[in-house]
Chains A and B, each alone.
Chain A
Amino acid sequence: MRRCRRLPAGIAATLLSTPLLGGCDRAPSTLDPAGPKSDFTTWAWWGLFAAAAFVCCLIIGLTVLAAIFRRRSTKVKTGDGRRFVLVFGVILPAIVFASVFALGVGGLVAQSEPPSKPAMTVDVIGHQWWWEFRYEGTDAVTANYLHVPVGTPVELRLRTHDVIHSFWIPQVMPKMDLLPKRINKTWLSVDRRGTYQGECAEYCGAQHAHMDFALVAQSHASFQAWLQREQRAAAPPTTDAERSGMQFFTSASCSTCHTIRGTSADGKLGPDLTHVGSRPMLAAGLIPNDVGHMSGWIANSQAVKPGNLMPPQHLTPSDLRDVVAYLQSLK
């Protein structure tokens, strides 16, 4: 998620997203769209920008020029100027605003329904501060990684477990809030393969800054393969360390919050860890998923992401090593 991605981008988008200092930075730019919804907002932006730039230049120009030219002239003109104000302050703006309104309603209508029947439905559940994705009609449950097939609409049902969050993938779809006791339905569609940055866009507490997710858009075949794998129960441990890690996980407090399908761990508070080893990042995009970071997270996640729900775990070094080995094996 944090790596540079090579994506084709429009010239303007490249100009905007290229920082002045160079480097291989890649912003999740709304002007580098990868789906029909963001396509629309990108075009809307450039149209609105052109109109806005024109109006600004006009008004600023008139103001500055007035100050320059009317300083010299001591001839004050009388007259009320009502016609001037009426034409330029009411009639011309009304025409512009009517077109803006048409643009907005057009966009709203175009985006209210997906262009074709959605391939599937995903439940998106916001938590402080991570994302849960449940694929309807399957057993697949993931955290912070939303996989979708490219080129077909996917229906989303958004809800929250706690406070209000907002689901935003700048390159793919505008925001939609996750509200308590309500389900907001929306859809997204991705045009080209890749991994896109998703963010929580409604302030949701101390770690609002660290509530990212990744949208992984795959070809149909590789998506199906992923979904098949994701539905399976956890792989049984193969080494002694993994076996003892699993033993520890299911008997210690881990299982009160986390689920690993196929074992007795069935907690609901934290992310489903059935395939945690296959996720590149941990803690909603904050740290890479490797042995070192995962050990640190388990030992004291409060040092990494203060305020998150997981308390520090006091494991012996060997227990910690075994548990991490087991979790890493869950591909």
Chain B
Amino acid sequence: MTQLTPPRTTGERSGEDLDTLSTVAGSLEARTRYDVLPERGAAEATVGARLDEEWAEEPGFWGFITTVNHKRIGRRYLVTAAVFFMFAGINALVIRTQLAQPNNHVVGPEIYDQLFSMHGMVMIFFFATPFNSGFGNFFLPIMIGTRDMAFPRVNALSYWIFLFSGIFIFSSEAMRSAPDFGWFAYVPLSNEYSPALNADFYSLGLLFLAVSSTIGSMNFIVTFLKMRAPGMSLNRVPLFVWGILTQSFMLVFALPPLDLANLMLFLDRRLGMRFFDSAKGGDAVLWQHLFWLFGHPDVYIIVLPAMGIISSIVPVFSRRSILAYPYVVLATVATGIISFGVWVHHMFAVGLSDVSLTFFSAATLTISVPAGIQMLAWIGTMWRGHVVLNPAMLYAMSFIITFVMGGVTGVMFAVVPFDQQVTDSYFVVAHFHYVLFGGAVLPLLGGLFYWWPKMTGRMTSHAGGVISCVLVFVGMNLTFFPMHIQGLLGMPRRIYTYPAGYGWGTYNLIETIGAYILAFGFLWTLFVFVQSLLSGPHAPDDPWGANTLEWATGSPPKAYNFPVAPTVHSLNPLWDGRTLQSMVDHRHDPQRTMTDHHQALRTSELDARIERVMTMPGETPQPLLVAMFLTMTVCFLLADIMLAAAVSFGLMGLVIGWWMWSRPEIDEPAP
């Protein structure tokens, strides 16, 4: 913290919104010394006691299962996804151990095929997306200055379904009948040629999880549109929130093709339909189109919120506003839209017509442009700011370095003949690990170091964080860089063993060593966080001198987040000197303090003008019950006990009916 120095504004302040640095509220460094920000302190002194009473939560187990608090749900998302990450990482370690030497016999093909399939599935579906949702759940409401998500009970439901679907999918691995046809499950291998339960676990598990992602996304969208703090017009929304919003819209549009494909697969397998069975008039390539129509947007579903985290970290530790904010927003949204038009580049070797390949080649290149815009915006921000290095910023820089390497190989895949040469080889494995590990895991770790004080109220060790970043960065590059060469040397992906004499062994051995360094890096990181929880120094409200609203809450935030709904005056509300002051100014205004029930402000979509005070629902067991009955339905479908499945589904419908019946009263405000 001693490294933080006050920003100095040179030149004129160019407009209220875009490039405001604090000249009013004194130095940022000074702010980091306050245990409680004086503005929040004043507001809490006025209404804190009443709000504490109103928002108090049921203690104990009952409180645990009935909570709808977005921060607790967000934390649960993060912990659960991290546990799934650990399991999928262990799968990867076994894979790397098996491949360490030619003709190795650590595991046989049956186990190996389940390992790599589960590794891909879990990392994509059960780690990367939910981990982003965890950050989204915790931080989206407090970054936009409100008290909860728009639908708190739906939020709890979405978590419970995520948890149960994860357990469902991992139970398949425990039963040794995990999906074993790769994470994209091409038919007919996953259909006629997979007679056991493996493919049913796949289709049901993903359909199950999709319920969670879909309702979660809708919740984010509505929260974004209707609950931003007064004054937070669209041009003042933090970039991480834009990332979550774009991700949510993408999920809502990308999941239907995947759901449809999985439903059709399930019907093919269980009810003898023939959507994908070419021998009976179906089409195997249809699966690929449907899958990748989801699959490619999914890359950005994972990466965009992660890029949003980078856009949060870089300005704070460059002590200035992000460069070209409108371009970064446009780039984020444009990526989301264009990503729906590139799926065929996963299918360049399928033998589609040259004309369509040309179109998708052009689209693939086009989608690189918005990524370049964001990249340049971060680098420009650093060059025009004063860089402060700490673990979060180091992770952000590691992200930029690895993501550009994944990006340039991504551009190569637009060259159709070259794509056909290296696709399904280790070159593509290297590419997508640079994109997904570099583009998602590194930012998520950076985000953890950045937001940890806010989430837990404890600081992490600076040196521990730096070591964590070095270990992970070195391990990651050692693991994945040689794969480029290995792919060019002709090693196809997904082979459980390979012969000696091709020159692949050395590279494989290096990668395995890298994988163990990486694993050690994660263990070390875990140690840093645990050490912080046990004995880390207490975090002040705003340890970094940051710019966005989450740092105006307590560390960790109170159940009601903000005692007084602030008025947002700029893109960098904590740097403009006026936003914080608005919490003091409005502390006697009942519309801003909302001390009656669980209440939050509803504002207009574009300009965030106040519309009314809404009463939010409180704790309830309904979400858990719905999730449990849905789980039972899915399990009975898996076991092919249709009557029991129908009964569970009916029971779920009854609980939903009860849920709808018990909606909270909405206070109609006086006009």
Contacts and interface: CB of A to CB of B under 8 A. Distances in A.
Contacts of B495: 208-209
Given A80-B324, A180-B188, A180-B278, A107 B401 contact: no
Contacts of B358: 104-105, 108
Contact of A206 (B110, B351, B379): B110
A107 B494 CA distance: 28
B368 to A, nearest CB: 6
Given A48-B412, A66-B379, A166-B349, A76 B386 contact: yes
B387 interface: yes
Given A70-B382, A81-B324, A202-B424, A107 B501 contact: no
A66 B401 CA distance: 13
A62 B379 contact: yes
B551 to A, nearest CB: 19
Given A44-B418, A48-B418, A63-B382, A174 B349 contact: yes
B535 interface: no
Given A177-B349, A179-B350, A179-B351, A81 B503 contact: no
Task: Please indicate which of the listed interface residues B278, B417, B423, B494 has the most CB atoms of chain A within 10 Å of its own CB.
Answer: B417
A170 B499 CA distance: 16
Interface stretch (A89-97, A248-256, A272-280): A89-97
Interface string A1-22: 0101000000000001111110
A78 interface: yes
B10 A75 contact: yes
Given A104-B417, A208-B494, A70 B278 contact: no
A200 B181 CA distance: 15
Given A27-B504, A67-B382, A174 B417 contact: yes
A117 interface: no
A60 interface: yes
Nearest to A44: B418
Contacts of A66: 379, 382-383, 387
Contact of B397 (A24, A27, A63, A200): A63
Interface in A294-313: 306-307
A26 to B, nearest CB: 7
Interface stretch (B123-131, B369-377, B634-642): B369-377
Interface residues of A, number: 99
A21 B506 contact: yes
B405 interface: yes
A44 B415 contact: yes
B425 A63 contact: no
A25 interface: yes
A87 B10 CA distance: 24
Contacts, number: 326
B82 interface: no
B78 interface: no
A130 to B, nearest CB: 15
Contact of A40 (B110, B349, B417, B422): B417
Interface string A25-41: 11111110000011011
A215 interface: no
B109 A307 contact: yes
Q: Which interface class (under 10, 10 to 19, 20 to 34, 35 or more) fits B? A: 35 or more
B349 A176 contact: yes
Contacts of B379: 59, 62-63, 66
A180 B507 CA distance: 35
A222 interface: no
A28 B491 CA distance: 8
Interface in A59-113: 59-60, 62-64, 66-67, 70-71, 73-82, 84-86, 88-90, 93-94, 97, 100-101, 103-105, 107-109, 111-112
Interface string B413-438: 01111111111110000000000000
Given A17-B503, A177-B350, A101 B323 contact: no
A314 interface: no
Nearest to B5: A74
Contact of A76 (B320, B327, B372): B320
A73 B418 CA distance: 45
Given A63-B379, A89-B372, A306 B397 contact: no
A2 B411 contact: no
B323 A80 contact: yes
6 contacts: A27-B504, A60-B404, A71-B389, A170-B421, A174-B417, A179-B284
**9 shortest A-B CB distances, which residue pairs?**
A174-B420, A209-B495, A89-B376, A52-B408, A181-B278, A28-B490, A170-B490, A184-B351, A25-B503
